[in-house]
A = this chain, B = another copy of it.
Amino acid sequence: MDLHGGNIYKIKGGEKMLDYSANINPLGVPTSLKNLISNNIDKLVNYPDPKYTDLKKSIAKYTNVDADNILVGNGAVELIFLIIKSIKAKKALIVAPTFVEYKRALELINSNIDYISYEKNNSIFVTPVEKIKKEINDKDYDLIIICNPNNPTGHLSALEEISKINKVAKKNKCKLLIDEAFIDFLPSGEEISSKNLKDENIFITRAFTKFYAIPGLRLGYAFIFDKEIIEKIEKEREPWTINTFASIGGKVLLEDTKYQQDTFKWLREEKSYFYKELSKIEGVEVFKGQVNFILLKIKDKRFTSSLLRERLIQKEIIIRDCQNFEFLDDSYIRLAIKNRKSNEVVVEALKNIFKNYF
């Protein structure tokens, strides 16, 4: 099966289907970026600035983090790989279920990987702060990874929780990697971000991908407050991994407040609608998340996640089968939240499939 959602290429006609498997903002590619690209195609004739100075300045301005603490990359994924490689963790703890690329990056450096499970409480996931602290105290981890808000559960670890974990981690010489790929979907994202701890022990990655609906452009950034490590990464990395359009696009996107406000408005309305409608379907349990996707557990014994996926592909809807996530099994699926018309189609399809809940 696929490691990720969004692989529409494996499915015949996939490009024309409703893709609920990738958590992409349905407002689509921002007009501001489209215009910028159209007007600057000739810029491809130059190498991008190898230091990406202007891009870093824009991110610094928007996030209020010093440009010297910012690393930019070919999507957040390049940065996750670079950071994990630079930390050289011998033993790592991943709070799961979560994004699978942490595991892949850790395997490349032959890390020992342990998992600790999020807890469930009345269809809401919870970060097990005390258990994580105990694990760190008991074992010799070099690195803990937390996706926040977490994919695929959609729940948020509070800044205070991260701070508590970090205190114990730091005491045990264990670094913290926080993946904030979805945090900008929260209007309060900048306030609740772990960047506010400005701690050398914490590495934070972020993406333009989901919020600005541009997985094809490849742009992400990281906050690294450990001066030695950020300098080492910059010194050793391959040159020019960020293409010209991504490198000039970041500024325009961060300044597009209209797109940002429209996104917040859409998500507020549609999350509430989609959650309410899905909750009416008896065959599934719906987990309450904070961002632009929803995790569901199939209760109807007639369906596994892969079977349900097949059935929905027949209805031209692609969903994310979650059985390859640690601690999840073949009863879990993830749905993106899209616009009302599409969400209605998905609700209708699921209602039909589960109408005789067994």
Contacts and interface: CB of A to CB of B under 8 A. Distances in A.
Interface of A: 3-4, 6-9, 15, 19, 22, 24, 28-29, 33-34, 37-38, 41-51, 53, 74-75, 77-78, 81, 101, 104, 107-108, 213-218, 236, 238-241, 243-247
Contacts of A42: 28-29, 34
A4 B215 contact: no
Given A7-B49, A50-B4, A50-B7, A216 B29 contact: no
Which of A3, A38, A46 has most chain B Cβ within 10 Å?
A46
Contacts of A101: 238-239
Given A37-B37, A246-B243, A45 B213 contact: yes
A46 B215 contact: yes
Copies of this chain, whole number: 2
B37 A7 contact: no
Nearest to A36: B41
Nearest to A246: B243
Contacts of A240: 74-75, 77, 215, 218
Given A3-B239, A75-B240, A78-B241, A215 B9 contact: no
Nearest to A2: B50
